Structure 1
């Protein structure tokens, strides 16, 4: 599958990419400090590639 800006990533994919423990990622979500997510009708959660990239860039700006 080709990678595009609108690629929908699973939480395990995001966790592997940013290198944080699963519990940390879920805590960030609870605190609304993580990347914006999309909840699909089947209950699955996805994060757009473009949103993850935007979120990472915002962390770099704040550092």
Structure 2
């Protein structure tokens, strides 16, 4: 049974597709503390708030 997706959030697959990265790249960033903030659902699935992703992307603008 699929878990409902909270409004305003992205699934890990959606995030990876949007950023054009692999899941392994995302997990590498997460392990190094370089990924956007995530919500961990009771079933272990991750969700990323759109606002957290946008904020995270903004922090990268100065670094580019």
User: TM-score, normalized by length of structure 2?
Assistant: 0.82
Higher relative contact order (CA 8 A, sep 6+): 1
Count matched residues.
58
Name structure 2 gaps, 5 residues minimum. 1-6
Report the Cα distance in structure 2 between the residues aligned to 1:45 and 1:25, rounded to whole angstroms. Answer: 11
**What stretches of structure 1 of length at least 5 have no aligned partner?**
1-5
Alignment TM-score, normalising by the size of structure 1: 0.83
Give structure 1 regions of 4+ aligned residues with deviation exceeding 4 angstroms. Answer: none
